[in-house]
Chains A and B, each alone.
Chain A
């Protein structure tokens, strides 16, 4: 680095006075100008455009999530049908046929479930913020 140039730059950075030679005068003018921000203004619709871009990106992301969900369910469904055909699966309620002998117990279980849900909503309060 040129010592004289470095010295003048350091002095101007520290807001110290510099000489009146051509180098110092030129540096003063440079330092006056470089702190000015470029004269560029964003358009008045800038914020709207950014929001539109965010919304477009989010809706694209959520529609792709739905697409993958539907595709996953469809693949599972097809796989289940093929597996069923291959092993000769016959639908049966199996252990659930037990309920047919105890309709009262079945109704009681449903009633109890509804009661617990109701009590949960009524008794447990929403925590305050």
Chain B
């Protein structure tokens, strides 16, 4: 979660320490209303978002969708043929370029195997928004891959 939200390595480590510290301090307040992993992910998400806000990094809802999509899907200089592993790395790199909310939803759903309801609890976004962000994130990545595959065929 933290590593998807925050780019700087030192900041990630520091934030992870703070999350562990917070979990240690607040463990007595855990009410078993949710899974422990969901509770910890909620703390991590809030810590990450607060950190980004402090650093004045944009965290607001995904706006200017059209201009972002156009910019995101735009061509890159692709001069090599990539293997499957390299393609995976390329997609992971593209994920890091997505808006924060898209990254968060993708990570919680695909990496942490959480369902929509759990993601709603962690991020505070309505379930419909979570589904929409997940769909749009995957669609944007697909367009990027498609764009690349089209180029590759031409090379």
Question: Chain A interface (Cβ within 8 Å of chain B)?
Answer: 1-2, 5-6, 9, 22-23, 25-27, 29-40, 42-43, 46, 49-50, 53-54, 57
Query: Chain B: which residue is nearest A49 at the CB level?
Result: B17
**A40 vs B92: C-alpha distance when bound (angstroms):** 12
Cβ of B68 within 8 Å of any chain A Cβ, yes or no, is no
**Given the contacts A25-B149, A30-B145, A50-B17, A40 and B88 also touching, CB distance less than 8 Å:** no
Instruction: Check A9 against B138 for contact (C-beta < 8 Å).
Output: yes
- Contact residues of A: prevailing secondary structure: helix
Instruction: Check A42 against B16 for contact (C-beta < 8 Å).
Output: yes
Query: Chain A: which residue is nearest B96 at the CB level?
Result: A38
* 17 A–B pairs (Cβ distance < 8 Å), ordered by A: A1-B132, A5-B139, A5-B142, A9-B135, A9-B138, A22-B150, A29-B84, A30-B91, A31-B138, A32-B91, A33-B88, A33-B95, A34-B106, A38-B4, A46-B13, A53-B21, A54-B21
Instruction: Check A1 against B92 for contact (C-beta < 8 Å).
Output: no
